[in-house]
Every structure is written in structure tokens, then in C-alpha cells.
Structure 1
Amino acid sequence: MMPPERRKSGRQGLPIDRLSNLPKNVINSILMRLPLQDAVMTSILSKKWRYKWCRLPQLTLDDDLWEETHDLLSPSIKFTKIMYQILTLHSGPLTKFTLSISALRKYLKINSLIYFLSRNDIQDLVLKFSEWNRYRLPPSFFTCSQLRHLTLQNCVICPPPAFKGFDMLNSLNLCDVTISSKLLESLISYSPLLEKLVLKISDTSDHLQINAPNLRSFDFTGCIKYISLRSVPLLSKLSLPCQKSIEESEKCDFDKFFQLLSALEHLYLANGSDQFLVTGAAEVPRRLSSPLNYLKRFNITLWRLADFSIALCLIRSSPYIQDIEMEVYCSRDYLSEKLEASNEVDEVLASFSDVTLNHLRTVQLEGVEGIKIELQLIKLLLTKSPMLVKMLIDPSSSDNYDARRDKILAATTVQRASSKANVVVSDEYEYYRDTTP
């Protein structure tokens, strides 16, 4: 029997060059998943692959490049060579570019790169620099008119007077940037399509007013005196943790603050949030004048007595709440001393006499000390939640753990509104949180 005839391509007896015949979109997909150095090296595969990387619409240049190379050149020299190749060889639009060079102390050719990107329809830009040498953005950066997504870390932002924002910007992420409150407000308000805003600011900021009619998600971390959310009608996700306290914080009207957040669905309040929301527990109303009818998820870190008052007020004011997470980081002695002088504990159950949490399904309580207000809260949630499926309680790991756990278990023996509620009290909290449906 004659052997089957070998398939031929071009020259007799040679196998088909499958790499060279891959569709263009497949080649681009492969190259965009490779580190830049490996993408450049694909030029040796065949003539059709030569300089394919030069037409990629997405490029990433980060610190991994310095770690993967084994030559003796300094990172600055390597970076300069790569920048030269990109600026001289790349052709066609470059829509996404990531530059993360926290390991470099000198930024050679960066201004030329920014100018190059501004001329190539850049839409998604990530610029991350070292904390010891913040990079001052050049004038050409503010001419990137096609920007949709922007991430800046350790940059100095000082736009020219003629700058009127990024008309197409959809998401903005600023981490440890140098910018005045006034300029930051202008940058946000001059970006009318902005939907997602992340601010991580280590420097102390003054008053910040957010005007963003299309904003849907706002995540703030930092140190600020006052935040005003005056024009955010579509805001559905809000995160307001602070890194440290500001004793001179200006206080807003707690009730009015939430009146402007009628579309809110997910609220996260962490350490220090109360410092620009309220001055103390006495200023927190029992219930908001306008209920949060869309709020479904509520996360809060409890550091002070005011945090408990805030949590109770917001739970009372959220008739459609589905998930509650609380982390207790207060000192047991501190809370006990403060609560002795307040009527908060005795009023917890009474203040919920006309409230039923008909949509609450999951509750997670971490770091519970077993003091009276926490036990009352556990009883309240069990007796007022007919749809409750899961309650996970992680007792604090401080002294007298067994006695604390026994107190918590006793509180869970109340008559539950939901026959399906699964209550777990354990130091294996993380395991149950990940495995319990």
C-alpha cells in the first residue's frame, strides 16, 4: 500500500507553516497576552510575524521587564532603548497603554512617549510612577481627547488654563497624585461622561465637591475634611473609608447627605467615615427623612459609638436591604464605658418596633466582642428578617474567647423570623463565609 501523499505548501515536502497563516486577529490576540519583551522576540518566527508587535493596539511596559532580563544594563538604559523602539517602530493606532515603572528613579523620554500617545488616539491609559519621584504630566497629556479610561499614580497634575476636561472619559482612578481640590473638582466636572471614580489620596484634602451627572461608582480612600455629593443622581455604589482621622473635619448634615443619594445600591463606610458625616452619636437621626429604597448591600467598619448609631439609622432607613456586613474594631472597654452613659442599647429594639427587614438574606459580623449592643443587634436581625438565609458571626479573638462565644450563642437562641436561617458562630469565619451558600 502506498503511503498517503504528504500535504505540501509552497515547496515540495515541507509542512504547512501554520504560524504564518494564522488570521491577523488571532496573532494580535496572542501578542497582547505576552510580555512586551516576548512579543518583540516573535519577530524571529517568520517573515509574516516580523514587526507584528509594532502594530499592536495595546502595549504594557512594567517592572516585570526589568526582572525578566538577565543582561547587565541598568533599568534606565533598558527603558530608554525600549522607548526608542516604540517611538520609532510602532505604527497605527495605540488605544491602550500601561506604563508602570515604580522601580525607576529617572524618567527618560516619558514626555516624548506622552506626546506620541496623544497623537495616536489613546483611549485607555495607565501611568504609575515611583512614590519618591512623582512625574509631572506634560501639556501634551491634556490633549488626549479620546481618553475613555485613565489611571494615574504618583503624578503631579497641573493642567494648562485652556484645559476643559476629557469629553469621552468614562472611568478615572487617581492614586497618590498631587492636585489641588479646585483642579480636581474641575477635572471631574469637565468630564461629563464619567461613570466610575476612584480617589486614593494620602495628602490631606480640604472641601471636595463632586458634580458628575453620570457617575455610578465612587470609591474614596484618604484624608479629607468634607465631601459634598451635590449632583450625582445616578450614583449606585459609594465607598467612604478614611486612612486617618482629621480632628478639624467639617461636618455635613447627615440626613441631607443621604437625601442626595436616592439611587444608592451599595454603601461601604469604614474607619473615619463618621468624622465628616457626624460629630457624634447625638447628631444621627433615628431614621432618614427619605428612605434609601434602592440600597441592597451595606458594609460598615465599627470603630466608635457613632458608627453603631450610623449603622442602625441606615438599616432602619433601607427597607429593601439584602446583605449586611459589619466589622468591629472597637475596644471592648471603650465601648462598654461609652455605652454606660448612653441609652443606645435599651433603645435598639424599641427603635425597630415598626421595622421589618423583609428582604434581608445574609448577615456577616466580624470581631464581635459580646457586649450588650452587639447582642441586641444579633437578636434584632434574627427576629426581624423573615427571609434570612445566613448569619456568620466571628467572635473577637481577644481574651476570654470561650465566654464571649457562649454569650453570642445564647443571643442566637431567640425565636427567629426565618425558619431557613443558618447561624454560624465560629473562629473559622473565613471558611464558612466562602463555603456556605
Structure 2
Amino acid sequence: MEKVKAEVNSNNSTDRISELPEDILQRILYFVSQDDAVRTSVLSKSWRNIWCTRPNLDFSDNTFKGNNQQFLSVVDTTLQRYCDQRLRVEEFHLRIFLREMDHEFVSLLEKWIRAPTVTGMKKLRFSNGSGHFLGSVDLPSVVFEVESLQDLHVESFVLGRETIERIVVFKHLRSLCLEQVRIKDDVFETIISNCPSIETLVVNQCKRLKKIKVNHLHNLKKFSFSKRRVDCSIEIHPPSLVTVNISDNIWLHDGGGYFRNLNSLRLWRVKSSLEHLSS
């Protein structure tokens, strides 16, 4: 009798999680992968459709069994369902294999990002998983039209003048990561000049960059830069900096600034003129 009672209590304890409010269950799923979120649908009736309503979406064709057209159809259907149910999307991660620009893909991307359901989107990660070291496909300009973004990560695309032709001022952007992209100095300058509140800037293995100035980023706390084989110069002296990580054939100028808040500095293969460095 006691054993039966213990089992009942155990089952009741397990069900307590399922009885939590929907927004709490969504928050739990926020911290797991898309695949794991789908698996929770078999836990109980309460969990059955929660994975379909969580505010962060993560799509990758690396794990998708099908071609590009089928993959895009899945993404499009999912976002359309979010629109139909008036569900919000706060984070959108998309990794897709592109050898060349696909006009159908551009049209779909513009549709997705401009949809009412993503109004207020905070985090966008967009990666061309072509397997090449540097992307050769132009990043659609619509990516730089999402004014609400707080975190933007772009990987393996070309960022040219057309990419930023309709760029908005990112008043809320706190983190910008450019990884393995092709970008020239003037385009880079235009982008960061429209990110006045940025706190974290990561630029890794980007081609065509020759000179970087980030002196006007007064809220910048973390700066990370790496670039192989080709020389590049950096001018940096925001006093707000806390962490600096720079490597590979870089000439670093401090511009006469003082790093009063710096608590982590890593320089590797860097030529420096940090005469005024202080902690």
C-alpha cells in the first residue's frame, strides 16, 4: 500500500512541471536545441505543442534530410504558422548552404524578416554553411533593416555597398559578430557608425579589411579581432573597454587613449604603439 502511494506521489510530482503556465514551459524550451524541443512533445499533453510556440527558432540544413527547396519550405511554413497564430519570434537562427545567390531565397528572407511576427526581434544569426572559408554570396540588405536587434551574427557572406543601402540605426544593438565575411573598410565603418550602443564587437577572419577605427564606440566593452595572412591596422581607445583580444598580423594604435577599465588583454603577433596603456 505504501509502495502504491509512493508511486502516485511520484507521478503527481512529475505532472507538476506539466501544470506550469505556458510561458514558463516556453522559457524552459528556450534553453534547449530545436531537435530537443521537438522531442518534448511526447512528454505529456501539456508539452505536445509547446515547442511550436517558443520565441526562439533555430533552423540548420546541416541536420535537415532534404534539398534546399524543401528546407526553405519548412522554414516558411513554420514562420507562416507563427504569423497566423500571432506568435512572436525574438530570436531567429538560420544556417543554409548557398553556392550562389538564390532569388527565391532572397524573396523568402525579406518576407520572413518583414513579417509582423518578427517585429521586435532581438537576436539574429545568419550563416552560409557552404563549407568554404569565406562566403561568396551577397548578404541580403533586409538583414540590416531590423531596428529592434540587440544581437547580430553574420557568417560567411559578402557585405557590400548594396547590403547596407537601407541600413537603419541600431539603437538597441549590443553585440555584433562578423565571421568569415568579405567586407571593405568603408562598409564596415558605415555599419558600426550605425551601432552607437554596441558593447561587444567580434571580427574574425574577415577578408578585405585593411584599417579599423572604433574610437567612437563609447560603450564598447569587449573587442575581439583576428585576421590571417593579410596585414591590418586597428585604432582603438574607448575607455570603456574591459576585454581586448587581437591576433594575427595586426598593427595596433591606441590613439592616445587610456584603458582604465581593462582587465583582460591578449595580443598575439601584434605590432603595438600602446605607449599610453594604463589599467
Q: State the TM-score, normalized to the length of structure 2.
A: 0.75
> Given the alignment, which residue of 34, 37, 43 partners 1:39?
37
- Higher RCO, Cα 8 Å, sep 6+: 2
Residue 178 of structure 2 corresponds to 174
Residue 235 of structure 1 corresponds to 241
- 3-state secondary structure, aligned to 1:235: coil
After superposition, the Cα gap between the structure-2 partners of 1:20 and 1:110, relative to the gap in structure 1 and judged at 3 Å, is: farther
- Larger-Rg structure: 1
In the alignment, the residues of structure 2 paired with residue 17 and residue 214 of structure 1 have an alpha-carbon distance, to the nearest angstrom, of: 46
After superposition, the Cα gap between the structure-2 partners of 1:36 and 1:134, relative to the gap in structure 1 and judged at 3 Å, is: farther
Letter in 1 for 2:143: F
Residue 193 of structure 2 corresponds to 189
Structure 1 position 205, deviation (Å): 2.1
> Given the alignment, which residue of 208, 214, 220 partners 2:219?
214
For 1:21-53, what per-residue CA distance to the aligned partner results, in whole angstroms no more than 9, with x for missing partners? Answer: 332234213433443245345556665444333
Residue 259 of structure 1 corresponds to 256
In the alignment, the residues of structure 1 paired with residue 72 and residue 209 of structure 2 have an alpha-carbon distance, to the nearest angstrom, of: 36
For 1:35-80, what per-residue CA distance to the aligned partner results, in whole angstroms no more than 9, with x for missing partners? Answer: 32453455566654443333211122235533xxxxxx53425523
> 1:187-336, aligned counterparts within 5 Å?
187-210=191-214, 211-222=216-227, 223-229=230-236, 232-242=238-248, 245=249, 257=254, 259-263=256-260, 264-271=262-269, 273-274=270-271, 277=272, 288=275, 290=276, 292-294=277-279
After superposition, the Cα gap between the structure-2 partners of 1:114 and 1:48, relative to the gap in structure 1 and judged at 3 Å, is: farther
For 1:189-223, what per-residue CA distance to the aligned partner results, in whole angstroms no more than 9, with x for missing partners? Answer: 22110011010134242222213111111111013
Decide whether the 8 Å contact of 1:59 with 1:98 is kept in 2: yes
Q: State the TM-score, normalized to the length of structure 1.
A: 0.51
Residue 325 of structure 1 corresponds to none
Structure 1 position 171, deviation (Å): 0.7
For 1:279-319, what per-residue CA distance to the aligned partner results, in whole angstroms no more than 9, with x for missing partners? Answer: xxxxxxxx94x4x441xxxxxxxxxxxxxxxxxxxxxxxxx
After superposition, the Cα gap between the structure-2 partners of 1:160 and 1:196, relative to the gap in structure 1 and judged at 3 Å, is: closer
Letter in 2 for 1:182: D
In the alignment, the residues of structure 2 paired with residue 64 and residue 161 of structure 1 have an alpha-carbon distance, to the nearest angstrom, of: 31
After superposition, the Cα gap between the structure-2 partners of 1:228 and 1:97, relative to the gap in structure 1 and judged at 3 Å, is: same
Question: What stretches of structure 2 of length at least 5 have no aligned partner?
Answer: none
For 1:308-355, what per-residue CA distance to the aligned partner results, in whole angstroms no more than 9, with x for missing partners? Answer: xxxxxxxxxxxxxxxxxxxxxxxxxxxxxxxxxxxxxxxxxxxxxxxx
After superposition, the Cα gap between the structure-2 partners of 1:179 and 1:258, relative to the gap in structure 1 and judged at 3 Å, is: closer
> Given the alignment, which residue of 25, 33, 38 partners 2:23?
25
Question: What stretches of structure 1 of length at least 5 have no aligned partner?
Answer: 9-14, 67-72, 279-286, 295-437
For 1:364-416, what per-residue CA distance to the aligned partner results, in whole angstroms no more than 9, with x for missing partners? Answer: xxxxxxxxxxxxxxxxxxxxxxxxxxxxxxxxxxxxxxxxxxxxxxxxxxxxx
RMSD between superposed Cα atoms in Å: 3.6
For 1:4-32, what per-residue CA distance to the aligned partner results, in whole angstroms no more than 9, with x for missing partners? Answer: 99xx9xxxxxx899375332234213433
After superposition, the Cα gap between the structure-2 partners of 1:97 and 1:201, relative to the gap in structure 1 and judged at 3 Å, is: same
Decide whether the 8 Å contact of 1:87 with 1:113 is kept in 2: no
For 1:143-198, what per-residue CA distance to the aligned partner results, in whole angstroms no more than 9, with x for missing partners? Answer: 21110011110122243444243111101110111222111012112211001101
Structure 1 position 258, deviation (Å): 6.2
Structure 1 position 259, deviation (Å): 2.7
Letter in 1 for 2:20: L
Letter in 1 for 2:224: D
In the alignment, the residues of structure 1 paired with residue 14 and residue 79 of structure 2 have an alpha-carbon distance, to the nearest angstrom, of: 31
- 3-state secondary structure, aligned to 1:83: helix
Structure 1 residue 128 corresponds to structure 2 residue 127: yes
> Given the alignment, which residue of 101, 110, 116 partners 2:112?
116
For 1:208-259, what per-residue CA distance to the aligned partner results, in whole angstroms no more than 9, with x for missing partners? Answer: 2213111111111013432222x623122222211xx4xxx8x67x6xx363
Residue 52 of structure 2 corresponds to 54
In the alignment, the residues of structure 1 paired with residue 220 and residue 13 of structure 2 have an alpha-carbon distance, to the nearest angstrom, of: 53
> Given the alignment, which residue of 80, 92, 100 partners 2:95?
100
Decide whether the 8 Å contact of 2:258 with 2:278 is kept in 1: no
Decide whether the 8 Å contact of 1:149 with 1:169 is kept in 2: yes
Percent identity of paired positions between Structure 1 and Structure 2: 24
Residue 329 of structure 1 corresponds to none
Number of residue pairs the alignment of both structures matches: 258
